[in-house]
A and B are shown apart, each in its own frame.
Chain A
């Protein structure tokens, strides 16, 4: 699993970000006091664990999961510094090293007790901010479109029915659950917000945007800006990759147990255009009602079958 050493690197990346310094192999090597090749090796390792997205010669960036981990480690580090300084009276120059040891052995419960014992300090003895508890970008975070940062990519999860009517036929088709969305920069207060949805620009009033929820995608998924379509739209012989569901909890849970997980290939076996469909998923034939098939969002996979259409 995640070793203390890996946690150290993650912490170092946030520290650099916090100081506004570029995150490069060189700066990281300095921060962690190791040689550059070691850093490259470690970055690849972290990337394999889904903690950062990293390509050689590019600046590594934290995935939401990585950011979560890193800010938790940083929070523990600074809480320990506070404790060692305020309670135990440890000298300044020894704080950092001891905290580095302790932070990796801290359970969530210990972290909470520590925070409570210290009162609500917001900074470490050096004056840096202690990241708030849980105040990180989580792996599966849902945000309203108004909070979607321009550097993020989101997938629309839900939209209110009244708003769907407001959007009109064309807009409602584009802004549907499963669609990929990015925010445009330079939003002005009081002006409609601009979004790129499924490759097209859409203007949305702020109140409407605030009622549309999107999931912030991890970096590795964000590259695929392709459009999701309902499973029911696949013709027999076509294959789709599952993106998500626009359905209630119960149905999602049933689908998942049957093997309909995001990223899985589904082949349409029978689809008469009306009535239920038959699909092949994980070597199993599954019948779905039309209504259910409309709630499973897939991306059509180009293949020999699809081109025959």
Chain B
């Protein structure tokens, strides 16, 4: 439980020397849907630095605020409902607060949802840290007919309460003034701590008696006792390590006896909150039907809801492709020009040097670059849906379908994105809370046919099956999607048995999008991808290019071709010769590469791929090839994304291994079955 992040890592400039005074640090916390990023973004602007918490897949954002002759470090902690370590986000937030001890903690609450968002304030008040409450979304509250009196709330809580409409930039100055007031001691800071009533206090004292008598820094004793009673596993582990086995057994027995004290504690906190807010809230317009209620009648309707979801997703795809295609073409052309330039410049050098730079490296750059517009638009679309509040509704509508695969509704969005491109889909798993859901969804996404594979599918069915092409296309698609479902159902039972996904999700109030937040978010995600995934994709595609070019004399003589010949016996079981196996291997660079490779290997001087293909592949072999290529190992970009999101090569390896096995296995079955049905040559 020592700090996982050293001071050095957490310092944005990285230039803080020991003798320099530590800059004042302000931590920003809040539940999801309180508009925390619309506070953080304008305060820090582009000075913010985004990374991951060491060893965690949780975003870590830090930035500098400058004003009135001061500079403060502002740390944006992940959105959490409580400080019990139920999720990585909660763990990160509370570890930071306790171990790094920021100078001031700003808790953002939602005025339209005061009771629930004050829960985090009730928890934060147990910590020995000064608190300032940012009462955000005052405008939304007014619209919902809720009138909040900040001054009354401030008097009740004994800590500064600043009314804000952060999306319009209102209240930010006042918030920082309040922070300064607390820092300088100008504000009569006198916080009220949540009271728990006599029965719980007796119990807390009793638990305290069982704690080690010595100092438990950085943890306050009372906080430890409460978290033990709340069943916090991490705190329990901490104390198990600090106590001898006999004393731990006594404490453990006591905790077991009071297993449902957790209910009493949460109830007591909410009762306390109730007393705090009663005087501060007025609801003159009770009974009015809100905008959210009206929209939700359709958005979550059992029949209309799915239609809306499908229509939204469809138009997002259409928009993304319409908007990104010109950019992709432009970038592609640019890379092509650059490659030509390099070839002429390097005309004097050995042929392989020009090839390596022009095709290998620039080809890799091209892969990364052409992904960017697509990624940017998908990220923006996802951020938009999340910001206006629709994301949760989509998850609700898709929940039943996803449940069959051992997932819940939220996984639908990343999976669906996979139809466009698997890369943003994998990166989109970040919206899922539990590690289990993230992993399972990540393993399923590469099975979803992306646009590249769709291109190959449509081309080959057209060439092989003529008029019946569209029918076969649909059949193969249905087969692939059925496989996604079956594999999901299977993996959830094999890899994560017994863990049923828990689907409890707040449906936030709808509100107008905050473009600044969406754009900043998109910008950061794209930048993040370029910095961390870009180089890996570049290296991998260069490596595969090298395999296809070395030792020279064209791709037929290359190591890649040798590898294809090595796999020929396996291909034989599916009616595929070594050239088709090489095409499959080449598809790992990018799925649509399969066609280009086939063209190089198969087409000589005459005819086109479409005319030659039927002579080479029987319908049975063609079907087998299509099935394999739909389910084959992910492309370089997706592999890199998996590594980036799971923070390990292990799950990428699992993905490679199971998809190779699955695709070949199904390919063989389909080929043999089709032959029995008389579809062979």
Contact = CB atoms under 8 A, between A and B. Distances in A.
Interface string A105-132: 0001100100000000000000000000
Contacts of B262: 249, 252-253, 256
Given A1-B201, A65-B202, A139-B202, A256 B263 contact: yes
Contacts of A88: none
B608 interface: no
A270 to B, nearest CB: 6
Given A283-B115, A289-B504, A261 B197 contact: no
A251 B292 contact: no
Interface string A134-146: 1000111110000
Interface in A244-260: 244-245, 249-259
Interface string B506-534: 11000000000000000000000000000
A interface majority secondary structure: mixed
Nearest to B265: A256
Contacts, number: 173
Contact of A288 (B84, B119, B205, B504): B504
A237 to B, nearest CB: 13
B116 A258 contact: yes
A285 B257 CA distance: 34
Given A142-B259, A257-B266, A250 B86 contact: yes
Interface in A266-305: 269-270, 272, 274-276, 278, 282-292
Interface string A142-168: 100000000000000100000000000
B560 interface: no
Which has the most chain A C-beta neighbours within 10 Å: B263, B302, B403?
Answer: B263
A68 B213 CA distance: 23
Nearest to A244: B263
A288 B503 contact: yes
A283 B201 contact: no
Nearest to B197: A50
Interface string A11-54: 00000000000000000000000000000000000000111000
A182 interface: no
A142 B399 contact: no
Contacts of A292: 502-504
Nearest to B281: A283
Interface residues of A, number: 59
B375 interface: no
A107 to B, nearest CB: 8
Contacts of B199: 50, 63-65, 68-69, 139, 218
Contact of B409 (A269, A276, A286): A276
A251 B505 CA distance: 12
Contacts of B116: 258-259, 282-284
A72 interface: yes
A5 interface: no
B388 to A, nearest CB: 15
A240 B579 CA distance: 66
A154 to B, nearest CB: 12
A103 to B, nearest CB: 15
Which has the most chain A C-beta neighbours within 10 Å: B199, B206, B396?
Answer: B199
Nearest to A158: B259
A189 B315 CA distance: 73
Nearest to A69: B202
A286 B202 contact: no
B506 A286 contact: yes
A77 interface: no
Contact of B300 (A134, A270, A286): A270
Nearest to B260: A140
Interface string B300-330: 1010000000000000000000000000000
Contacts of A141: 257-258
B497 interface: no
A251 to B, nearest CB: 5
Nearest to A277: B396
B92 interface: no
Contacts of B506: 258, 284-287
B296 interface: yes
B127 interface: no
26 contacts: A1-B201, A49-B197, A50-B197, A64-B199, A68-B199, A68-B203, A108-B205, A134-B254, A138-B258, A142-B257, A157-B260, A253-B84, A258-B116, A259-B270, A262-B267, A263-B267, A274-B400, A276-B396, A278-B396, A283-B116, A287-B392, A287-B396, A289-B501, A291-B500, A291-B502, A291-B503
Given A108-B206, A275-B302, A284-B116, 14 more contacts: A1-B198, A50-B197, A65-B197, A140-B260, A249-B231, A252-B263, A258-B81, A275-B400, A286-B506, A286-B507, A287-B399, A287-B506, A289-B399, A292-B503
Q: Which 3 A-B pairs have the closest CB atoms?
A: A65-B199, A289-B503, A256-B266
